[in-house]
């Protein structure tokens, strides 16, 4: 009889104790309010510290950076998490998370009752809020006072942050082993994907890990990790969070046996962004992560195929906006054998022939030449000792300027440079924003036409983007979160007609093997000693610039722009998607054959440079001229030249407007704006000025 009544007596005792405990909890809850009043304010500064992250134009993670104490703790909002993870988390850790004030009295009663019945701790009563309180204010001791303080802090957190704020802190601070903290860092470290794209098995594993992050780390203890994951799946199925069949199928999925590297796209651009704004938590770049991910392996593969120690760099610019859509600074950021940590898009190197198009552009806009002007490619001497040769040591004879640029002939380029003037050429490049570096204590000379100067890949790309924009050089935009560029007159590298002439010529440059012709306007360059290989191409939408070479400046036999850089350029263009679009032809462009050109433009003369006595007396260079229209048609602009051999041909924007047997003429502007006025005499001598008509 006594044996039968013993369970009944125990149940009654437990019920009485439970009632007593309920009263105690009520009293404790009241008491906690007084405890909170005496606790120092909770400092959330350290808990709110996050890893700085760099994202692309669509918000895709490019690269995270560890916190100052070496932890990976990435920002994450609850709505960016797989809903099944949140459902399993609350079902497993805190079923009444949305209902309690930070502490769950029912869970406390259950835990106390199980403790009294079994004589040992069967289950805990920590809520998610209490776990966050422990993470925010960690304490080593495990005592009743520590637990009471934790409960008080949990209530404080709920009052201060609300449920979503507490959940946000849990998602950021939950430990996952080693320096990995927070769900987003763990999801990337163990599965290489964002928390919104987790499978059921992956979500269950990440629910289980924070309870014993070191003992369940899948990269060290995969069996323990699997057992913990399966227990979460069982509980989730038993509580109706996921179908039992899906939970069973998820158990068959293997657990990861190692950690994956964090994303590292556009690492040089990411580093530069962080250095520019070190206090900013999220850096938003103009880079397109998908394009960047397609181009980085391509660059690394091509550099590796060319030999040891070589690096490569590539830049993609959106011509309309000036935004940098991709920036590959090296052939592998972590490849020390190729000095991968050096961003070669900003390194000063010799461009070889890559600047020749700008020599031609200045000659076209000055009225010195036209794409169909005949130029002599023959052995020539400039000054006492300078006798340039072509790359292949041959000469083509008489060719058009179009053909000379497409074949990158050296003698015609130097002839045009002599006519344009090296100092004027360098001044134009610098006025367009390019940081030109000349040899120490050297004045600009004719060799600058063939690469006798230093320039960065970034500046070279900007100049070519200027050609694609009708001569207007864009200000590069690298950040979406940066200040808007000030409204101002953009620098010009050439006039619209001259820019189109150059683009039309370069579009006919013979392409690399297996590439289609007449699709991309491009130019290559090879520096002296085979140190640098370049290729820059553009269409209406985009400009791409490629560099290959050794970061230490050593020569690489056989490193030629056309052979090494051009194929990489064309492969990169193919990864942009879509067909290249040619530039629209300006209304004032002169489309003609050599025989139909004005006589002074049919053949370039060696004595047609600025040393001739022909010069424009009026209007002066840089003048602002008010034609005083006042509602009617503007008055004509008087043109006056001194010197030269008659007849004279006057050109505006590279297009002939009048021919005169006198040194005075008149031109009727069709509107206000900047215009370049040039004059040619019968010998081919020329002069030009830039004026603003108002």
Active site residues: 93, 353
Contact between 616 and 395 (Cβ < 8 Å): no
Structural contact between residues 351 and 455, judged by C-beta atoms closer than 8 angstroms:
yes
Cα–Cα distances (Å) from 35 to 147, 162, 382, in that order, read: 13, 20, 92
Phi and psi (nearest 5°) for 185? Answer: -65, -40
Q: How many CA atoms lie within 13 A of 296 on its CB side?
A: 25
566: left (phi over 0), alpha (psi -120 to 50) or beta: alpha
Place of tokens 């289950």: 123
Q: Which tokens go with 339?
A: 């000095």
Q: Which tokens sit at 115?
A: 């403790």
Residue with tokens 């083509």: 396
Reference 550, options 530, 535, 572; nearest CA is 530
CA distances from 255 to 205, 557, 574 (A): 8, 50, 38
Question: Do the beta carbons of residue 510 and residue 403 sit within 8 Å?
Answer: no
Tally the residues of the chain.
694
Tell the residue number behind the tokens 């043109």, with chain if given. Answer: 639
Those residues with Cβ within 8 angstroms of residue 31's Cβ, 6 or more apart along the chain or in another chain: none
* Structure-token match 């590298």, residue found: 493
Burial class (CB in 10 A: 0-12, 13-18, 19+), 111: middle
* Cβ neighbours, 10 Å, residue 11: 11
Closest C-alpha among 611, 588, 629 to residue 687: 611
Query: Biggest alpha carbon distance in the chain?
Result: 138
Q: How far apart (Å, rounded) are the C-alpha atoms in residues 637 and 45? A: 69
Q: Alpha-carbon dihedral of residues 446, 452, 453, 457, nearest 10 degrees?
A: 120
Closest CA to 331 of 115, 568, 70, 127: 568
Closest CA to 126 of 90, 94, 98: 94
Sheet of 532-538, strand order: 324-328, 311-318, 542-549, 532-538, 521-526
For residues 688 and 680, give the distance between their C-alpha atoms in angstroms, rounded to a whole number: 9
Q: Using an 8 Å Cβ cutoff, are 313 and 546 in contact?
A: yes
CA distances in angstroms from 41 to 139, 231, 509, listed in the order given:
16, 38, 71
Whether cis (ω within 30° of 0) applies to the bond prior to 619 is yes
CA 366, CA 591: separation in Å to the nearest integer? 17
Residues 6+ apart with CB under 8 A from 615: 641, 642, 643, 687
String of DSSP letters for 535-584: EEEE-SSEEEEEEEE-TT----TT--IIIIIHHHHHHHHHHH-S---PPP
Per-residue tokens: 294: 């397609």
């Amino acid at each position: 009889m006594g044996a039968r009544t013993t369970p009944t007596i125990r149940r009654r005792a437990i019920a009485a104790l439970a009632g007593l405990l309920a009263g105690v909890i009520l009293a404790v809850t009241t008491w906690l309010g007084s405890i909170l009043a005496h606790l120092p304010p909770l400092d959330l500064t350290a808990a709110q510290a996050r890893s700085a992250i760099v994202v692309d134009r669509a918000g895709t993670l490019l690269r995270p950076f560890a916190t100052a104490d070496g932890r990976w703790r990435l920002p994450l909002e609850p709505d960016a998490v797989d809903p099944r993870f949140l459902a399993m988390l609350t079902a497993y850790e805190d079923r009444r998370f949305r209902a309690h004030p930070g502490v769950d009295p029912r869970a406390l009663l259950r835990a106390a009752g199980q403790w009294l019945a079994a004589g040992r701790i069967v289950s805990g009563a920590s809520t998610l809020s209490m776990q966050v309180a422990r993470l925010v204010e960690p304490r080593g001791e495990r005592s009743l006072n520590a637990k009471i303080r934790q409960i008080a802090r949990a209530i404080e957190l709920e009052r201060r942050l609300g449920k979503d704020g507490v959940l946000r802190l849990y998602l950021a601070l939950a430990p996952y082993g080693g320096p990995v903290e927070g769900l987003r860092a763990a999801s990337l470290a163990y599965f290489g994907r964002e928390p919104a794209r987790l499978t059921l098995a992956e979500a269950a594993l990440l629910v289980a890990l924070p309870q014993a992050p070191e003992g369940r780390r899948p990269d060290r203890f995969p069996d323990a990790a699997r057992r913990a994951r399966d227990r979460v799946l069982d509980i989730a199925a038993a509580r109706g969070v996921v179908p039992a069949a899906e939970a069973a199928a998820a158990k068959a999925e293997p657990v990861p046996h190692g950690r994956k590297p964090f994303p590292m796209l556009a690492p040089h651009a990411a580093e530069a962004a962080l250095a520019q704004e070190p206090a900013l938590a999220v850096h938003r770049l103009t880079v397109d992560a998908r394009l960047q991910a397609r181009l980085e392996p391509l660059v690394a593969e091509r550099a590796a195929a060319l030999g040891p120690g070589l690096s490569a760099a590539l830049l993609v610019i959106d011509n309309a906006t000036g935004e940098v859509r991709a920036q590959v600074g090296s052939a592998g950021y972590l490849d020390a054998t190729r000095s991968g940590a050096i961003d070669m898009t900003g390194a000063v190197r010799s461009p070889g022939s890559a600047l020749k198009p700008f020599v031609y552009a200045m000659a076209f806009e000055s009225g010195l030449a036209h794409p169909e002007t005949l130029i002599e490619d023959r052995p020539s001497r400039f000054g006492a000792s300078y006798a340039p040769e072509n790359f292949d040591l041959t000469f083509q004879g008489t060719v058009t300027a179009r053909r000379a640029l497409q074949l990158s002939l050296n003698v015609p380029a130097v002839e045009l440079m002599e006519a344009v003037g090296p100092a004027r050429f360098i001044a134009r490049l610098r006025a367009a924003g390019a940081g030109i570096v000349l040899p120490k204590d050297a004045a600009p000379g004719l060799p600058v036409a063939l690469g006798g100067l230093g320039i960065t890949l970034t500046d070279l790309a900007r100049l070519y983007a200027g050609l694609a924009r009708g001569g207007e050089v864009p200000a590069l935009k690298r950040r979406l979160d940066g200040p808007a560029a000030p409204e101002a007159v953009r620098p010009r590298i050439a006039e619209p007609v001259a820019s189109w002439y150059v683009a039309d010529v370069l579009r006919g440059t013979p392409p690399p093997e297996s590439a289609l012709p007449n699709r991309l306007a491009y130019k290559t360059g090879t520096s002296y000693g085979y140190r640098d290989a370049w290729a820059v191409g553009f269409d209406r939408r985009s400009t791409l610039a490629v560099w290959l070479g050794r970061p230490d400046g050593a020569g690489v036999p056989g490193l030629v722009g056309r052979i090494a850089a051009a194929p990489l350029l064309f492969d990169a263009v193919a990864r942009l998607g879509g067909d290249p679009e040619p530039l629209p032809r300006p209304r004032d462009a002169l489309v003609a054959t050599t025989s139909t050109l004005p006589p002074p433009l049919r053949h370039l003369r060696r004595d047609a440079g600025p040393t001739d006595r022909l010069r424009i007396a009026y209007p002066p260079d840089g003048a602002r001229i008010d034609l005083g229209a006042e509602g009617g048609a503007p008055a004509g602009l008087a043109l006056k030249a001194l010197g030269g051999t008659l007849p004279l041909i006057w050109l505006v924007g590279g297009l002939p407007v009048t021919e005169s047997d006198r040194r005075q003429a008149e031109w009727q502007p069709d509107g206000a704006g900047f215009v370049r006025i040039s004059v040619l005499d019968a010998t081919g001598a020329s002069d030009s000025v830039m004026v603003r008509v108002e």
